[in-house]
Each structure stands twice: as structure tokens, then as C-alpha cells.
Chain A
Amino acid sequence: DQQVKQNSPSLSVQEGRISILNCDYTNSMFDYFLWYKKYPAEGPTFLISISSIKDKNEDGRFTVFLNKSAKHLSLHIVPSQPGDSAVYFCAASANTGNQFYFGTGTSLTVIP
């Protein structure tokens, strides 16, 4: 059973506009969340994280929002750039466990 879900397999956004990638989870024990970016033939690269004591974390053009009651997090990229085109994975973990649970990814295309 998929504990972390990314329901949009793909997203296209115009350069300069905002990209919003969504992620839902089912396990209420999850307390640490990350976003990874992946280019073809490369491993995922860490982008940004958030712990459950916060509801927002910002790093440059990237902001992650966490809504614990809805078990939902989102990644906002603004402004979007063509180099942001990649597959984005969200991942979650609980401090009682040893593994991250990944979503299936959203392929973002930023159109110049």
C-alpha cells in the first residue's frame, strides 16, 4: 500500500510562473519530509526538507508547505526556470523507523 502519493504524474508550466507539486501521505507517524529532484540517468538530489514542527520552509525559489491535518505537503517553485525540468519525488519518514517512503514522482516541464 502506497503510503506517500503523488497523484499528478506530470506538470507543465510556463517559464517565470509558479510550479506547485503536491504530495499526500497516509501515515500519521510521519514527521520528516523531503523533496528530491531527479534528472535522467542520475540519482535523486536533495532539494528541501521540513519537519512536522513547522508548516513552511523556504530556500530561495523553493518553498515547502506542510498541512498535517490534511496529511498534505506541497512544493512551490517560483519563478520556474527551464533548468527545473526534472522528476520531483517527495519522501517521508517516521522517527521510529529506518526508511524513507517515496512517492511515484511528478515530471515537471518548464516551457521557455
Chain B
Amino acid sequence: GAGVSQSPRYKVAKRGQDVALRCDPISGHVSLFWYQQALGQGPEFLTYFQNEAQLDKSGLPSDRFFAERPEGSVSTLKIQRTQQEDSAVYLCASSLDLGTRDEQFFGPGTRLTVL
């Protein structure tokens, strides 16, 4: 299984709860991206890592969102004090090359529902 994996696949959280979403990229992929996809919309960029360095976090909607990739492979997206508007599918993607010059391989996503 050489694809991008994400866990959990589904997460239900009560408003105010903290959640952590995990992404396992394809081994050796330098770039890792997180996206948020609301119902009926396309994926929207959240943040970008090149190895362990978070080079762009301009898409994170608030300071409640935090992402890390400490060893340059697995990444975690954390959302603190979840709100109903955080309900969405969170997609992780990785690519072999730097930045956006290469196709991205997506995981299946984590569907977050905040009640």
C-alpha cells in the first residue's frame, strides 16, 4: 500500500473539543499539503510542508488550527475548540517534488462533523 493514508476516516466531535487528524504521506515525498473541503466545494488550501518545514500556513482559517510534521514524514492537523463551521472533509496530499510543480497524491480524507 504505497498511497497516502489518513486517520481517522470519520470523526464526530462536540463543539469545543480538540481533535487531531493524522496523515501518512507516500514514503520519500518531500511536499505535504493539507486541504479543507466543505460540502459542494473544491479543496481549499490550508498549509504546506517541505520536509519538516512549514513553509506556508496562509490558508489556516484561525489560530485554532495547527499543523506539524516534525520528522518530515507523518503530519498531524490539530483543531482546538472545534466549532460547527469546522465541519468538513480534511484532505492530505503529498508530492515527490517541491511546491506545486508536480502532481499531488491525495489521501481519502477525514470527515469531521462538529455537533
Q: What 1/0 mask marks residues of chain B from 43 to 56 whose CB sits below 8 Å from any chain A CB?
A: 11100100000011
Give every chain A residue within 8 A of B44 (Cβ-Cβ).
102
**Given A89-B43, A99-B56, A102-B43, A43 contacting B106 (CB threshold 8 A):** yes
Given A43-B91, A95-B99, the answer on whether A102 and B42 have CB atoms closer than 8 Å is yes
* A97 CB within 8 Å of chain B: yes
Number of interface residues of A (CB under 8 A): 26
Residue of A nearest to B111 (CB): A41
Contacts of A36 in B (CB 8 A): 106
Please judge, given known A-B contacts A99-B56, A104-B40, whether A45 and B101 are in contact too, CB under 8 Å.
Answer: no
Count of A-B residue pairs with CB < 8 Å? 66
> Are B45 and A101 neighbours in the complex by a CB distance under 8 Å?
yes
Interface residues of B in 20-63 (CB under 8 A from A): 33, 35, 40-45, 48, 55-56, 58-59
Asked if A98 is an interface residue, CB under 8 A from chain B, the answer is yes
A97 and chain B: residue at smallest CB distance = B100
Residues of A within 8 A of B91 (CB): 43-44
Q: Which B residues form the contact surface with A (CB < 8 A)?
A: 4, 33, 35, 40-45, 48, 55-56, 58-59, 91, 93, 99-101, 103-109
Q: List 14 A-B contacts (CB under 8 A).
A: A32-B100, A34-B103, A42-B108, A43-B106, A43-B107, A45-B106, A46-B103, A46-B104, A49-B103, A95-B99, A95-B101, A100-B100, A102-B42, A103-B42
